[in-house]
Amino acid sequence: MGDDTRAQRKTENGRSMTANKKLLILPGDGIGPEVMDQVVRVVDWYGKERAVKFDLDEGRVGGAAIEAEGTPLSDATFAKAEAADAVLFGAVGGPKWDTNSFDMKPERGLLRLRKDLGLFANLRPAICFDALAESSSLKTELVAGLDIMIVRELTGGVYFGEPRGIEDLSDGTRRAVDTQVYTTPEIERIARVAFDLARKRGNLVHSAEKSNVMHTGVLWREVVQKVHDEEFPDVELHHILADNCSMQLVRNPKQFDVIVTDNLFGDILSDVGAMLTGSLGNLPSASLGAFDEATGKRHALYEPVHGSAPDIAGQGIANPIASLLSFAMALRYSFDLGEDADLLETAIGNVLASGMRTADIMPANNPKVAKVSTGGMGDTILRELGKLAG
Ligand code: IPM
Ligand code: MG
């Protein structure tokens, strides 16, 4: 009773201080809905206990949308995403839709959101929690304390370049084409995001491309260097070939601070970066659009780096941490609530330190850790949040 009153008072305060923030939840497929359930619980907790109030809406995306609405992302759901202050995304895809035509694949829903909301900057932190350093496939000393930010260009390159497609040739064989294409402004704006972030971190940027074989790589290198020289001469910049970058990531990951790279290399390098930390199940991401001076807003989508994991879906064993950390990124990057983001990140770090593990991060023979379900991990994190917030 006493607690309720306190919670209500804080909520009232929150409401009078700031307008409600609009969040659109898109759980998607596979383990998406299970992990997003835990996110909704934490969002509710913030609404009750902190001076920040969210209006939650929900929509379908991916396979779930194909089944119910006949398309991986309906115009109505896209309109909701466009109107939201931030989109919290689960995961899309599954074997059921693997043989679908290109436009009817679940992934098209995600790619349309990225492209049509203009989410060109994908931030993928690879941070190794101390408690999990032993879960990495690399030696503990190589990954303990690791803190890398991969900045992936997300709306250009070979993911969207034209022409693209598969054609039938007259001799009965077929020919497939994808086009890798980048323009100067596309490279400039992603470079600025990377240099800006580096200034707030270790002041070091590695720019990864394949300028030894690709024209896009040559232009990428030139433009990144120019943006550096003209606007960020104080930041240390290294150019690195993308294949060497992947090798260096597993050889000596702590040499990196910020890595900026294109859409396809970023897809691959961020999976490597993720696995350094022990589990894909822990890694969040933020996809950000350009800042609109008129409204003071920018479109943003937050999603775990892991996919829909259909093999474990529906069993209640998925790790909700990547999704919860994605919500923490939303607090930080969309709502400028750094302290609230810190709170959630600290709660998660403490819960891991206390020995709670979902199946994916469960070490083989360690009597000091306990296995919990998806909901069990949510319960423990909520309890820890309550404790920390006092
Ligand atoms: C990612 C995923 C996506 C991508 C898929 C689901 C389209 O692998 O976000 O890394 O390739 O970008
Ligand atoms: Mg990927």
**Quick one: 102 and 172 in the same domain?**
no
- The catalytic position among 53, 210, 257, 340 is 210
Let me know if 55 is a catalytic residue. no
d(CA 95, CA 173): 27
- pLDDT tens string 148-190: 999 999 999 999 999 999 999 999 999 999 999 999 999 999 9
**Quick one: 273 and 305 in the same domain?**
no
Matching residue, tokens 């396979």? 63
> Residue 367: its pLDDT value, please?
84
Dihedral sign from CA coordinates of 35, 389, 8, 340: negative
Residue 304: nearest ligand to its CA? 1
Residue 264: nearest ligand to its CA? 1
Cα separation values, 175 from 170, 171, 178, 213, Å: 11, 11, 10, 22
Joined together, the tokens standing for residue 6 give 């306190």
Let me know if 182 is a catalytic residue. no
**Quick one: 29 and 113 in the same domain?**
yes
Residues 73 and 112 sit within 8 Å (Cβ to Cβ): yes
Taking phi first (over 0 means left), then psi (-120 to 50 degrees means alpha), and beta for anything else, what does residue 309 get? left
Residues 24 and 80 sit within 8 Å (Cβ to Cβ): yes
| Confidence tier at 14 by pLDDT (50, 70, 90) | very low
> Residue 258: its pLDDT value, please?
98
Inside any domain, residue 185:
yes
- pLDDT tens string 301-342: 999 998 999 999 999 999 999 999 999 999 999 999 999 999
Compute the mean pLDDT over every residue in the chain, rounded to the nearest whole number.
Answer: 93
**188 CA to centre of ligand 2 in angstroms:** 23
User: Who wins on pLDDT, 130 or 69?
Assistant: 69
d(CA 304, CA 42): 16
Q: Considering 248, 277, 306, which residue would you say is the last residue of a domain? A: 277
Inside any domain, residue 225:
yes
| Confidence tier at 34 by pLDDT (50, 70, 90) | very high
| Total number of domains in the chain | 2
Inside any domain, residue 132:
no
> Residue 4: its pLDDT value, please?
42
**Quick one: 75 and 174 in the same domain?**
no
Inside any domain, residue 284:
no
Is the pLDDT assigned to residue 5 strictly greater than 70?
Answer: no
- The catalytic position among 271, 342, 371, 379 is 271
Protein residue closest via CA to atom 1 of ligand 1 = 267
Could you tell me if the CB of 271 is within 6 A of ligand 1? Answer: no
> Residue 190: its pLDDT value, please?
98
Let me know if 46 is a catalytic residue. no
Matching residue, tokens 């892991």? 306
Cα separation values, 6 from 13, 46, 197, Å: 11, 13, 38
Let me know if 85 is a catalytic residue. no
Inside any domain, residue 306:
yes
> Residue 141: its pLDDT value, please?
93
Q: Considering 235, 253, 277, which residue would you say is the last residue of a domain? A: 277
**Quick one: 302 and 224 in the same domain?**
no
**Quick one: 273 and 299 in the same domain?**
no
**19 CA to centre of ligand 2 in angstroms:** 35
| The ligand 1 atom nearest the CA atom of 92 | 6
**18 CA to centre of ligand 2 in angstroms:** 36
Backbone angles phi, psi at 93, to 5 degrees: 115, 165
**315 CA to centre of ligand 1 in angstroms:** 23
Q: Which domain holds residue 374?
A: 1-120+289-390
Q: Which residues contact 129 (CB under 8 A, 6 or more apart)?
A: 277, 278, 282, 348, 349, 352, 353
**Quick one: 256 and 303 in the same domain?**
no
- pLDDT tens string 242-274: 999 999 999 999 999 999 999 999 999 998 998
User: Who wins on pLDDT, 24 or 366?
Assistant: 24
**Quick one: 106 and 1 in the same domain?**
yes
**Quick one: 252 and 329 in the same domain?**
no
CATH number at residue 359: 3.40.718.10
- The catalytic position among 57, 147, 243, 342 is 243
d(CA 17, CA 20): 10
Residues 215 and 143 sit within 8 Å (Cβ to Cβ): no
> Residue 18: its pLDDT value, please?
52
For residue 269, the Cα-to-chain-centroid distance in whole angstroms is 14
Length of the chain counted residue by residue: 390
Protein residue closest via CA to atom 12 of ligand 1 = 267
pTM: 0.92
Backbone angles phi, psi at 211, to 5 degrees: -70, -10
Inside any domain, residue 74:
yes
Q: Considering 246, 277, 308, which residue would you say is the last residue of a domain? A: 277
Mark the residues whose beta carbon lies below 5 A from ion ligand 2: 267
**Quick one: 90 and 10 in the same domain?**
yes
To 5 degrees, how large is the angle CA 234–CA 238–CA 242?
145
Protein residue closest via CA to atom 6 of ligand 1 = 107
Residue 303: nearest ligand to its CA? 1
What does the pLDDT average to over 124-148? 91
**Quick one: 249 and 298 in the same domain?**
no
> Residue 49: its pLDDT value, please?
94
Mutate which of 26, 100, 122, 267 for ligand 1? The one with the most ligand atoms within 8 Å of its CB, which is: 267
| The ligand 1 atom nearest the CA atom of 107 | 7
**Quick one: 113 and 228 in the same domain?**
no
Inside any domain, residue 131:
no
Inside any domain, residue 129:
no
